[in-house]
Chain A
Amino acid sequence: MADVVCGYSRNRDEVLVAYLFDDIDSTERASFGAHLTACERCRAELAGLRGVRAQLGKWAPPEPAFPVTDYRSPAASPPAWWRDIPAWAQVAAALLFLGVAAGIANLDVRYNTEGLTVRTGWSKPASAAPSKVAAPSGVPAASGAAQDFGPASSAGSAPWRADLAALEQQLRSEFRAAELSSAKQAAAHSAANTSGMSDAEMLRRVHAMIDENARQQQNELALRVAKVFQDVNAQRSADMVRISDYLYGMQNSTGAEVYKNRKLLYDWIRTSQTK
């Protein structure tokens, strides 16, 4: 067959392959088509290459036994470093943060006839002062004795409790002195602007300012707590996704194992049949 002379003039191999894949302009296609009717060599070669193409069609890549790509990986932002910390450690850290925040905010929980009261900040109502500490002059006593659940309530049950109670009293008196000092400064400043205002009125204003400050701190603490819970929930959701992905991967690998076992079984049957 190879000794048959082909008379096609130019670029015969290129035109042949273009004709084979039908990626050829119409003029050249018509020209080569006409040539084929007369050239046995080109007809045979074309038929042979069509056979090659048919055989090429039998070659399929194996189906991967796993997802080819993780859809989220390219688009997702890189995971934050803290996502690698176990969830329990994050919860512990959150609780520690809450404790520290409560300590910094001087969280004060009281339960009295008015119900449950949560206060923050260094401001204390005058009624909170222990009876041993002399109330400063001009400070009105608050009505309704609040039951303090602090350590001082059980003083005397242990030696360290007495020391702790004394320390608490000392701190309270110092804080009150500082509070009064700032209140006086504020009052003096206010007096410069509001001449003729009574001491009681000025003190009321100062207390209002202090209460406002306490409310602000309460709000801030509430916001921080909400943020922590939001973070914990977000991490929980991310953990659930990771667990789901892991289970999916486990399922796929189990499927691959089953396939391998089935193939081994099939090969064994085929081998025993041929014997």
Chain B
Amino acid sequence: MTWTDEELVARSISGDADSFNELIVRWERPIYALAYRQIGREEDARDVCQETFLRAYRALGGFRGQAKFSSWLYRIALNLCRDWMRRERRAPVVQAPEDVDLMDLAAAREPSESIEDLVARNDLSRTVERAMARLPEEQRTAIILKEYHGLTFQEIADLVGCPLSTVKTRLYQGLTVLRRELAKGGGSKPAMRT
């Protein structure tokens, strides 16, 4: 039987540790991906992910189910990412290119994809990452939540605490900047704007 997130939360509150582990299994990858795309460092993203679940577990009793559990988790993770960015304001957000592992990509490549295509795809991924790193934080957050996590505009508005129209405007502006940057070949400077 598959439990919903909210049912697993209720069982966790009543003392069933396995239910919380199930929630971790279900949500650790999305939270890790969110943290990585926000801060751009693998190990720090992992730390943020762990801290997110730790804080969620500690505050589980206060979760009343007004929002979805996933939205609640996303909010915790975003707050932690924001704290991280405040602390590491001067640190580069994009990892050095040599940290991108081609062997990982090779494992996922299509049988018909040549090695040149694979390298080009990897370069494109890096270009997108750099361009995203140059966006203002609120635009980057809106794009990440919409594009990679499939949240609705309303869910994003609730999550970041701004009007619905603001979310749409941020998305439009961010995508427009990205379009221009990607047309130029992406930003070459991995600086972060917050």
* Interface residue A82 (Cβ < 8 Å from any Cβ of B): no
Min distance, Cβ B47 to any Cβ of chain A, angstroms: 10
- Give A residues with C-beta under 8 Å from B: 11, 13-14, 16-18, 20-21, 23, 48-49, 51-53, 55-64, 66, 68-76, 259-260, 262-263, 266-267, 270
Knowing A52-B179, A75-B20, A76-B17 are in contact, say whether A69-B104 is a contact too (CB < 8 A).
Answer: no
Chain A residue with the shortest CB-CB distance to B16? A75
Could you say which residues of chain A place their CB within 8 Å of the CB of B165? 11, 14
Knowing A68-B29, A71-B21 are in contact, say whether A262-B104 is a contact too (CB < 8 A).
Answer: no
* Interface residue B125 (Cβ < 8 Å from any Cβ of A): yes
Knowing A51-B179, A56-B128, A56-B147 are in contact, say whether A69-B53 is a contact too (CB < 8 A).
Answer: yes
Interface string of B105-146 (1 = CB under 8 A from A): 000000000000001010011011100100000000001001
Could you say which residues of chain A place their CB within 8 Å of the CB of B21? 71-72, 75
The answer to whether B103 and A262 have CB atoms under 8 Å apart is: yes
The answer to whether B28 and A63 have CB atoms under 8 Å apart is: no
Min distance, Cβ B146 to any Cβ of chain A, angstroms: 6
Knowing A14-B172, A61-B45 are in contact, say whether A69-B50 is a contact too (CB < 8 A).
Answer: yes
| Cα distance, A13 to B172, chains bound together (Å) | 7
Give the tally of cross-chain contacts (CB within 8 A). Answer: 115
Min distance, Cβ A57 to any Cβ of chain B, angstroms: 8
Most buried by B among A18, A20, A51, A62: A62
Knowing A11-B165, A75-B20 are in contact, say whether A58-B124 is a contact too (CB < 8 A).
Answer: yes
* Interface residue B175 (Cβ < 8 Å from any Cβ of A): yes
Most buried by B among A16, A21, A259: A21
The answer to whether A14 and B37 have CB atoms under 8 Å apart is: no
| Cα distance, A262 to B168, chains bound together (Å) | 44
The answer to whether A71 and B172 have CB atoms under 8 Å apart is: no
Knowing A13-B172, A14-B172, A17-B168 are in contact, say whether A59-B125 is a contact too (CB < 8 A).
Answer: yes
The answer to whether A58 and B182 have CB atoms under 8 Å apart is: no
| Cα distance, A131 to B33, chains bound together (Å) | 85
Min distance, Cβ B119 to any Cβ of chain A, angstroms: 8
| Cα distance, A267 to B102, chains bound together (Å) | 9
For chain B, residues 136 to 191, give those with C-beta under 8 angstroms from any C-beta of chain A.
Answer: 143, 146-148, 152-153, 165, 168-169, 171-172, 175-176, 178-179, 182
* Interface residue B67 (Cβ < 8 Å from any Cβ of A): no
- Give B residues with C-beta under 8 Å from A: 12, 17-18, 20-21, 24-25, 28-29, 32-33, 36-37, 42, 45-46, 49-50, 53-54, 56-57, 99-104, 119, 121, 124-125, 127-129, 132, 143, 146-148, 152-153, 165, 168-169, 171-172, 175-176, 178-179, 182
Could you say which residues of chain B place their CB within 8 Å of the CB of A267? 102
Could you say which residues of chain B place their CB within 8 Å of the CB of A60? 125
Min distance, Cβ A36 to any Cβ of chain B, angstroms: 16
Min distance, Cβ B109 to any Cβ of chain A, angstroms: 12
Min distance, Cβ A41 to any Cβ of chain B, angstroms: 13
Could you say which residues of chain A place their CB within 8 Å of the CB of B42? 61-62, 64
Knowing A68-B50, A75-B20 are in contact, say whether A263-B147 is a contact too (CB < 8 A).
Answer: no
Min distance, Cβ A181 to any Cβ of chain B, angstroms: 55
Nearest first, the 4 closest Cβ-Cβ pairs linking A and B are A75-B17, A74-B57, A61-B36, A14-B168
Min distance, Cβ B187 to any Cβ of chain A, angstroms: 13
Most buried by B among A71, A76, A259, A266: A71
The answer to whether B28 and A18 have CB atoms under 8 Å apart is: no
Contact of A58 (CB < 8 Å), options: B50, B99, B121, B168:
B121
| Cα distance, A242 to B132, chains bound together (Å) | 40
